Amino acid sequence: MEVGRLPLSASQRGKLISAGYTTLASLSSISPSDLARDLQVPESEAFEMLKVAKLGCGLEQPDKHTAIVNGAQTAWDILNEERLLPRITTSCADLDKILGGGINCKEVTEIGGVPGIGKTQLGIQLAVNVQIPVDCGGLGGKAVYIDTEGSFMVERALQIAEASVVNWSSYSELLRKESQACQVEIQPTDILEKIYYFRICTSTEQIALINYLDQFISEHKDVKIVIIDSVTFHFRQDFEDFALRNRLLGGMALKLMNLGKKYNLAVVIFNQVTTKCTEGSFQLSLALGDSWSHCCTNRVILYWNGDERNAYIDKSPSLRSASASFSVTSGGIRNSASKHKRIRVM
């Protein structure tokens, strides 16, 4: 590996190269004080540089004592971990079924659809459902709701919270008949208190918040879901330079993915749709372009199928393409009432 690829500042890199240290091998056996003399830099700086070089080495030269490749996990371990992963229900059994039990923690799920299909509704529902008490089979976590469009309605959140409280308490009553231990006393206002709401007004604020989330969540460890409604709005306007836009979006997606892994939480991103002209005919597709579509682990598209709302798994490494219907009721997202065959595998 070349010195040029190390994450060093440009002047440090320049000094290294001009002093003849072009490969990592040349740095591997030198002491900090020798390097400091050669480069004419303070010893502490030389020490830092060597530390960076050693990290760079670590990536290439495996440490044979601990694992075959540093930082790797075997597929078997990952499988065991995945089995234990908690999922957040959508309150619609059919939708949960095609999602493999709900929205997965540690993953980034993108959900897109036409205006009025129920994206914000689903977002509020998830922010409430993440709080389902552990006794009732939930996560008992808190939610971060990032509103970029101003479409979050407090009244609606209250309606959904009220309906959910009724559901949970009837569920816990069922449990109580079997064992006396379970007791759930939750008020709708308690639910609303556990949703942290951020209102974002520019793309810069959006980037800043994603950077800051790491710190925020380390202070609020019980946050189990981050919802961004929508990622698109600010990035769709006032961006002339599309290459820059894609770089920023890519960086943001990477940070969100790391966040999900680090704190074991689910990330749900909403996206808008746009019309795309392919082969002379117009088609709907999710906004932000092709390079963005690689950024998320799962992609779900909500669409109208006749007079029903449907969800379709467009992309997922582990789930098969399937669609299921759902409906939006006064209490939130629920199963579709129709008698049609509900799940269709494509």
Contacts (CB under 8 A) with another protein, residues 34-73: 48, 52
Quick check: 159 binds another protein (CB under 8 A)? Answer: yes
In degrees and rounded to multiples of 5, residue 91 shows phi and psi of 75, 5
Interface region with another protein, contact rule CB under 8 A, candidates 2-10, 23-31, 87-95, 258-266: 2-10
- Would you say 123 or 138 has its CB closer to another protein? 123
Query: Binding string, 244-283, against another protein, x = CB under 8 A?
Result: x--xx--x--------------------xxxx--x--xxx
- Residue 111 carries which side chain, given as an amino acid letter? I
Phi/psi region, residue 100 (left: phi>0; alpha: psi -120 to 50; beta: rest), is left
Tell which one of 189, 218, 258, 318 touches another protein (CB under 8 A): 189
Interface region with another protein, contact rule CB under 8 A, candidates 25-33, 79-87, 96-104, 196-204: 196-204
Tokens (6 digits) for 61 = 């030269």
Binders of another protein in range 282-311 (CB under 8 A): 282-285, 301, 303-308
Q: How far is the CB of 326 from another protein (least distance, A)?
A: 13
Residue 130 and residue 118: Cα distance in Å, rounded?
18
Interface region with another protein, contact rule CB under 8 A, candidates 23-31, 80-88, 96-104, 109-117: 109-117
Q: How far is the CB of 199 from another protein (least distance, A)?
A: 6
- Residue 117 carries which side chain, given as an amino acid letter? I
Q: How far is the CB of 176 from another protein (least distance, A)?
A: 28
Please provide the distance, in angstroms rounded to a whole number, between the alpha carbons at the two ends of the chain: 46
Interface region with another protein, contact rule CB under 8 A, candidates 1-9, 67-75, 88-96, 163-171: 1-9
In degrees and rounded to multiples of 5, residue 296 shows phi and psi of -100, 155
Quick check: 157 binds another protein (CB under 8 A)? Answer: yes
In this structure, is the dihedral angle defined by the CA atoms of residues 318, 324, 327 and 331, taken in order, positive or negative? negative
Tell which one of 91, 121, 297, 298 touches another protein (CB under 8 A): 121
3-state class (DSSP) for residue 270 = strand
Residue 162 and residue 165: Cα distance in Å, rounded?
5
Residue 132 and residue 243: Cα distance in Å, rounded?
42
Tell which one of 178, 185, 238, 290 touches another protein (CB under 8 A): 238
Count of residues interacting with another protein (CB under 8 A): 84
> How big is the CA angle at 210 (ends 204 and 215), to the nearest 5 degrees?
125
Tell which one of 194, 224, 334, 342 touches another protein (CB under 8 A): 194
Please enumerate in sequence order all residues whose Cβ is within 8 A of that of 143, keeping only pairs 6 or more positions apart, or say none: 126, 127, 128, 130, 131, 194, 195, 196, 223, 224, 225, 226, 227
Quick check: 22 binds another protein (CB under 8 A)? Answer: no
Rg, C-alpha atoms of the chain: 25
In degrees and rounded to multiples of 5, residue 141 shows phi and psi of -100, -170
Q: Which residues pair with 109 in a beta bridge?
A: 268, 298
- Would you say 24 or 157 has its CB closer to another protein? 157
Tell which one of 38, 197, 261, 335 touches another protein (CB under 8 A): 197
Tell which one of 209, 257, 319, 322 touches another protein (CB under 8 A): 209
Interface region with another protein, contact rule CB under 8 A, candidates 26-34, 64-72, 211-219, 290-298: 211-219
